[in-house]
């Protein structure tokens, strides 16, 4: 049999052996999903529109400052850069794993001068050994190919591909979380700006009231207790300003970190322009499987774990490698490429574990447990996603009702203050009634501002829960 025939037989045999693939084929899970969301009055589900923002969902709020901060965060965030680096690593790992499906080709060169010992063991009693000093020049081309007998290479590539897709989903999830956290901190800061404005107007009102009651005291028409009570109210309101300023600084520092700027170098001026939560189209619950990157990442993690079962099970089968070499070897450089200097080899090597004390089976069991854990985590992520959406729906509905009632309370508190002031000026009531009315108005206005901030933050939470897209797809 000629060398080429030997090699052909080896190749055909290897291909026949490679007909099986260890481990189960991956099947995408189909979790139970409700047909529709449970809506709470006065919620009105918006109709999805292709014109609405998807990836840049924050643009729906119409706030230029928020848009600029989000773009700055996408450019400078170290957290996002870390996720991008992990994606690059996964892409490189896939390239490396895919290379195992191709033959490995190597070129060897060797130049040496050596002396052979005269006292080395004899290979023939009739041929004595001599000490020899000689040169050796060698060049050779080696080709090796691992026969994927049980699909180990295929499963490794499948796992690397799934890991790459998981890293891409993780990157999208990091981008979504970054944008949501930034928007939440921004709206919390703007809500404090509104509260500070309310407190500023209240301080101005209380200061004027203090001047009036002090003047009445000087004329003998008011008691010293009235003056002291108004002064105490004014001082208490100023204390609240200092506490809110501290909270605002914390949100400002958080925004600095999110956009990748040192906190001492970052400032955000107060801004009182109106911000309204946008309508959020919900789509169907099943849309979450496509829209939420964390669900996609959890599903890809299942695919990775499934591939690991195949990699572990492939160890039950022999490892088969086809090899060939062609080269030239001579003791004289001038005769290196002469025909007598030619050498070649064709062969196949195989290795089979006969006893390992259960190590391979333990590895398979470990991989199977890992897959079971990934499946449980996938189900957990899906359930948590549906809970987050429902929480957002009910939360926005409740806050909308509370916000409407808060505006009514503010109007009522203003009327009460006007009436209490008029009655006090007419001598029909004591000054504590005016102070009580001032405090009630301040509480009502601050509560309205807080509810607006909560509505904005909850709308961000709902958009994040829906995957950061204001339209399905």
Structural domain boundaries in the chain: 3-102+148-317+359-465
Phi and psi angles of residue 134, each rounded to the nearest 5 degrees, phi first: -155, 165
pLDDT in tens, 143-157: 999 898 888 899 999
Q: What pLDDT score does 54 carry?
A: 54
Closest by alpha carbon to 169, among 286, 301, 305, 307?
301
Predicted confidence (pLDDT) at residue 4 exceeds the cutoff of 80 = no
- Asked whether the beta carbons of 452 and 194 are under 8 A apart, the reply is yes
Over residues 227-238, the mean pLDDT reads 92
Whole-angstrom distance, CA of residue 352 vs CA of residue 318: 4
> Among 3.90.1570.30, 1.25.40.10, 2.40.110.10, 1.20.1600.10, what is the CATH number of 3-102+148-317+359-465?
1.20.1600.10
Residues 6+ apart with CB under 8 A from 64: none
Whole-angstrom distance, CA of residue 325 vs CA of residue 7: 12
What mean pLDDT is reported for the chain?
87
Task: Give ∠ CA 59-252-188 in degrees, rounded to 5.
Answer: 60
Q: What pLDDT score does 30 carry?
A: 78
- Asked whether the beta carbons of 460 and 186 are under 8 A apart, the reply is no
Higher pLDDT, 22 or 19: 22
Task: Give ∠ CA 234-237-241 in degrees, rounded to 5.
Answer: 135
Predicted confidence (pLDDT) at residue 55 exceeds the cutoff of 90 = no
Helices 152-218, 78-98: axis angle to 10 degrees equals 170
pLDDT in tens, 360-394: 999 999 999 999 999 999 999 999 999 999 999 99
What dihedral do alpha carbons 72, 75, 78, 82 form, nearest 10°? 150
Which secondary structure element, helix H or strand E, spans residue 135, and what is its range? strand 132-147
Q: What pLDDT score does 286 carry?
A: 79
């Amino acid at each position: 049999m000629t060398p080429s025939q030997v090699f052909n037989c080896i190749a055909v045999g290897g291909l026949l052996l490679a007909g099986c693939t260890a481990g189960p084929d991956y099947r995408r899970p189909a979790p139970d999903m409700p047909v529709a969301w449970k809506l709470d009055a006065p919620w009105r589900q918006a109709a999805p529109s292709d014109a609405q923002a998807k990836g840049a969902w924050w643009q729906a709020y119409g706030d230029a400052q928020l848009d600029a901060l989000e773009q700055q965060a996408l450019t400078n965030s170290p957290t996002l850069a870390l996720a991008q680096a992990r994606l690059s690593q996964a892409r490189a790992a896939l390239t490396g794993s895919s290379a195992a499906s191709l033959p490995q080709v190597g070129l060897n060169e060797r130049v040496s001068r050596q002396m052979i010992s005269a006292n080395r063991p004899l290979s023939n009693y009739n041929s004595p050994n001599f000490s020899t000093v000689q040169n050796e020049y060698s060049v050779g081309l080696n080709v090796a190919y691992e026969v994927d007998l049980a699909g180990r290479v295929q499963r490794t590539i499948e796992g690397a591909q799934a890991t790459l897709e998981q890293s891409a989903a993780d990157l999208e999830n990091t981008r979504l979380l970054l944008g949501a956290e930034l928007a939440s901190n921004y709206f919390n800061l703007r809500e404090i700006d509104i509260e500070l404005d309310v407190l500023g107007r209240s301080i101005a009102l209380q200061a004027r009231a203090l001047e009036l009651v002090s003047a009445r005291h000087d004329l003998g028409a008011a008691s010293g207790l009235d003056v002291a009570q108004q002064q105490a109210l004014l001082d208490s309101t100023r204390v609240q300003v200092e506490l809110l300023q501290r909270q605002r600084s914390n949100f400002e520092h958080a925004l600095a970190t999110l956009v990748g700027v040192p906190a001492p170098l970052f400032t955000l001026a107060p801004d009182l322009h109106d911000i309204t939560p946008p309508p959020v189209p919900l789509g169907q619950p099943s849309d979450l499987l496509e829209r939420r990157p964390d669900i996609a990442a959890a599903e890809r993690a299942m695919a990775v774990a499934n591939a690991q079962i195949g990699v572990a099970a492939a160890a039950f089968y022999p490892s088969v490698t086809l090899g060939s070499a062609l080269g030239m070897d001579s003791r004289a450089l001038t005769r290196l490429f002469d025909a007598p200097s030619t050498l070649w080899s064709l062969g196949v090597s195989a290795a089979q574990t006969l006893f390992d004390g259960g190590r391979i089976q333990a590895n398979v069991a470990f991989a199977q447990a890992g897959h079971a854990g990934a499946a449980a985590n996938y189900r957990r992520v899906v359930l948590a996603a549906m809970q987050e959406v429902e929480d957002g729906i009910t939360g926005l509905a409740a806050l909308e009702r509370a916000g409407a009632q808060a505006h009514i309370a503010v109007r009522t508190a203003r009327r009460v203050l006007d009436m209490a002031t008029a009655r006090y000026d007419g001598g029909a009531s004591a000054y504590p009634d005016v102070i009580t009315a001032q405090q009630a108005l301040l509480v009502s206005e601050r509560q309205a501002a807080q509810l607006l901030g909560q509505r904005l933050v909850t709308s961000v939470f709902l958009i994040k829960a829906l995957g950061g897209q204001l339209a399905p797809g």
